[in-house]
Amino acid sequence: MKRTPPLVDATVAGESANPLGGIRSTYPGPRAQISRDTTLAWWRRVLPIVASHRTMFILSISMSFASLIFQTLVPNVLRSAITDDIQKRAGGLHHAVLVIVLYGLLAGITGIASRYYLFRTAYEVEADLRSLIYEHLTWLSFDFFDRVQSGQLISRANSDIRSVQMYSTFAPLILVQCSIGVLAFAFMLAIDPVLACIAMVVMPILYVVGLRMRKVLFPISWITQSRLADVATIVDENVNGVRVVKSFAQEGAEVNRLADAAERVAWAYVKDAQIRATWSPWVQNLPQLGLALVLGFGGAMVLQGRLGVGAILAFNAYLLMLQAPFMMLGQLVMMGQRAKASAERIFEILDESPSIVERPGAYDLLDVRGEIAFKTVNFHYRDAPILRDLSFTIGAGETVAIVGRTGSGKSTVARLLGRYYDATDGAITIDGNDIRNLTLASLRSAVGVVLDEPFLFSLSIADNIAYGLPDASLADIERAARAANAHEFITKMTDGYQTVIGERGYTLSGGQRQRIAIARTLLVNPPILILDDATSAIDVHIEAGIYDALRELMAQRTTIVIAHRISTIALAQRVIVLDGGRVVADGQHETLLRTSRLYSEILAQTLVEQ
């Protein structure tokens, strides 16, 4: 078949252009992937992401540890200064002061460096996690998005990722901070082993409290994240469906629905606060008991002359250092439970596998003639039969209209041909090639689909038309717009082709949106074109102008017209009538009017609706 010249010059495409259609991603992707071993603990699955930034991460941890060492050296210098310089009047106090100032400066410098590298690591880990989940979403099949609410996806790609990122990067730092307790305890043992053991008598109690706290926090953390996602879903639906809400005057009902969801979130937060209020004081105040024991026993030892004043002051300083790690440990437990809940919600997406995948050895569809065949195709959607033993062929370059009542399976034909879904049984071929043996990129670049409800982005009109070929010149964009009979109304807009349209293109009429969608598809010049009720919102007179332009293009490509209007059906050389997912009639328009009662009834009903 002779292919019509493309509407754009192939030489305009840059190195990012994909010769099979679309744009190749120049984004290198995250440095690492999560572990696919679902038997591992959640933090071990996330560990490869953090490990991919190990240079900065290890540097931040090292600086933090160095800062802690300098901090723990200060009380020991203080003990020596009091014991040797003040009590014994040996002089040299100025040396101890200088050493303490030096340690303080070094602790501050290393602490600043540690926080800088830690936050840098944290934000890069967050970016990788967000890119990872979005990249995975782009690979998932349509059936996944059919059953998952967009608000749930938005929540998991934002607040859940933030929870995981915070714990993955800050937990090791908090553990390093807690290691100050180990160093402090070592110095305490060096001063007096018995008193050190007395100070640590509360540790077993703290361990039990921490375990109990972790157990009760996890369920409420999961509930909180889930209910936050419910709120995000309601907000997303109300923003996208604001015209429906207002047209039915349901603002009050939607406010009530959001308020109910917000109250459920508030209950979860209050419950979380209640649990924290119950258990956090134990974690934070039990070390105070150790301080009281040290003061009691240590004071008695000083009075008995068994311990110096400098030693007891250093001991108290080390005990104060122990309090901060205990407080951080409680925070770590709470962060960990929220991160665990968030991670499991994220894994629900990342562990999802696409149902539409390329077979091993899949090859590109090249030099497309456009011959299409459906061979005893069956298709069930959620166990509901849609197509039953559907068989028909469309010759290369032929224009065929598919007609049928609502629910007869017309649009399903378009979705199966582009392999948005796979047939349950049977085979679909293009030029004799089973589409399941083709690469998805080459297949979908060969099959252009214009839907009755086109989606437009919040970009300029030119960017929307050039979405499939961003490197196209303005002249090529205008040529496609003229073919779709859209050039005239575009040039009348304030900024012409550079006019930025509102979200989903709602600043345009339905017919204008459809014409831009037609231009967008024509620009990439697919050898197979599917018009799925693509002119349903367009005025009949404007529609006639579009068809005059399309006739020449259709003559050089295979076209499937899914339509109800007689004017649209008139474009076709042949009509296929579907009923109950089967072909019940196939022939020319005039012939079917005489021989097919169903076809006549469908057209008569269409005329009544118009």
pLDDT along the chain (610 residues), means of 10: 41 38 60 86 88 90 87 77 58 73 89 89 88 86 82 79 82 78 79 80 74 76 80 75 67 82 88 81 72 76 74 74 68 79 87 89 91 94 88 92 88 91 94 94 89 81 89 91 88 90 75 86 88 69 67 77 78 89 91 89 68
Output Rg (C-alpha) for the chain, integer angstroms.
35
Asked whether residue 457 falls in the same domain as residue 576, the answer is: yes
Could you give the 3-state DSSP secondary structure of residue 448? Answer: strand
Asked whether residue 325 falls in the same domain as residue 399, the answer is: no
Cα gap 556→478, rounded to integer Å: 21
Could you tell me if residue 18 is inside a domain?
no
602: left (phi over 0), alpha (psi -120 to 50) or beta: alpha
Asked whether residue 309 falls in the same domain as residue 454, the answer is: no
Cα gap 6→468, rounded to integer Å: 13
Cβ-contact 554, 399 below 8 angstroms: yes
What token pair was written down for 514? 């459809």
Asked whether residue 218 falls in the same domain as residue 333, the answer is: yes
At 286-298, the pLDDT tens digits run 767 777 777 777 7
Could you tell me if residue 108 is inside a domain?
yes
Of 316, 350, 384, which marks where a domain is finished? 350
Asked whether residue 313 falls in the same domain as residue 381, the answer is: no
Cβ-contact 586, 576 below 8 angstroms: yes
Cβ-contact 200, 315 below 8 angstroms: no
| Nearest to 110, CA basis, from 99, 121, 102 | 102
Could you tell me if residue 14 is inside a domain?
no
Let me know the angle formed at the C-alpha of 341 by 337 and 342, rounded to the nearest 5 degrees. 115
Of 286, 319, 350, which marks where a domain is finished? 350
| Nearest to 506, CA basis, from 216, 149, 194, 240 | 240
Asked whether residue 327 falls in the same domain as residue 455, the answer is: no
| Nearest to 126, CA basis, from 157, 168, 155, 162 | 162
Bridge partners of 427, per DSSP, are 375
Q: How many domains is the chain partitioned into structurally?
A: 2
Could you give the 3-state DSSP secondary structure of residue 331? Answer: helix
Q: What is the pLDDT of residue 111?
A: 87
Cβ-contact 259, 293 below 8 angstroms: no
Cβ-contact 153, 85 below 8 angstroms: no
Could you tell me if residue 33 is inside a domain?
no
Q: What is the pLDDT of residue 539?
A: 66
Could you tell me if residue 28 is inside a domain?
no
Q: Return the residue matching tokens 């899949």.
A: 362
Going by DSSP bridges, is the β-strand pair 558-562/528-532 parallel, antiparallel, or unpaired?
A: parallel
Could you tell me if residue 402 is inside a domain?
yes
For the chain, the average pLDDT equals 80
- CATH of residue 479: 3.40.50.300
Cα gap 578→591, rounded to integer Å: 16
- CATH of residue 220: 1.20.1560.10
Host domain of residue 84: 42-350
Asked whether residue 154 falls in the same domain as residue 242, the answer is: yes
**CB neighbours of 315 closer than 8 A, spacing ≥ 6?**
188, 191, 192, 195, 199, 294, 298
Could you give the 3-state DSSP secondary structure of residue 565? Answer: coil
Could you tell me if residue 248 is inside a domain?
yes
Asked whether residue 315 falls in the same domain as residue 172, the answer is: yes
**CB neighbours of 535 closer than 8 A, spacing ≥ 6?**
511, 514, 518, 543, 546, 563, 565, 568
Could you tell me if residue 219 is inside a domain?
yes
Asked whether residue 343 falls in the same domain as residue 394, the answer is: no
Asked whether residue 286 falls in the same domain as residue 336, the answer is: yes
Q: Return the residue matching tokens 């437009």.
A: 456
Asked whether residue 471 falls in the same domain as residue 501, the answer is: yes
Asked whether residue 324 falls in the same domain as residue 383, the answer is: no
